[in-house]
Structure 1
């Protein structure tokens, strides 16, 4: 599965800890991340991650494009609801796209842990079925 990892500044440490804790699960998948978040996770875990621009510079939109093409299977976006974000319209658009394309989205650690455990159990295999029906291959 293709998995996106995104975090606002005040949530980056939390997402890094999440990636460390669940490294054995997520390393089996193709990972994508916005700039600084991806770098921090790579440094802490050694995971291979395709990095996009930082969120404010278009990284959220790059991941949104993958969602719109139905090539992103899951998004972990640890949002900071208490800090105004200069690129809030991009954030809103990304969340909306996840809803439009039925992409599992975790915006906090509580939901992320439920999704990661579901991923581990194979509960999200329906995404593979969608790719097969569309004649698409999926990297992992």
Structure 2
């Protein structure tokens, strides 16, 4: 892992509010990381949480695959992808490819809030931040 953890943030439409709330809760961690996101998710995080990040295309237009490419080339350390398991996604093959590339390259992947919390705890430990004094 690089000195500055590199995190991809992705959320299906029905999970975007959950991601915003989660990132706000842990903004002290995310401000110390290099952030990447698919287009719509990135725009919302920029607007609502005032984070700097690199955006790619939206998921259905290939953004999931762009992030997968970064995972495969070891340019992403962690992926937080809040998926909506109850809604069919037209780009499900792209979603599956991203999940697979995380498994193939042994990258930590969170697909719900519980696993995202575990990842952030690990990132917080890496950054040597305490839970006290979160912004």
Question: How many Å apart are 1:2 and its aligned residue?
Answer: 1.0
- Write out per-residue CA displacement over residues 1-25 of structure 1, whole angstroms, 9 at most, x where no aligned residue: 1110000000000001111111100
**Residue 101 of structure 1: aligned partner:** 105
**Gap runs ≥5 in structure 1:** 124-140
Shift >2 Å, 4+ stretches: none
User: Residues of 2 paired with 1:44 and 1:22: CA distance?
Assistant: 14
Matched, 1:39 2:43: yes
User: Residues of 2 paired with 1:122 and 1:4: CA distance?
Assistant: 17
Question: How many Å apart are 1:100 and its aligned residue?
Answer: 0.4
**Gap runs ≥5 in structure 2:** 128-135
Question: How many Å apart are 1:26 and its aligned residue?
Answer: 1.0
TM (normalized to structure 2)? Answer: 0.89
TM (normalized to structure 1)? Answer: 0.86
RMSD over aligned Cα atoms: 1.0
The count of aligned residue pairs is: 123
Q: How does 1:1-140 map to 2 (within 5 A)?
A: 1-122=5-126
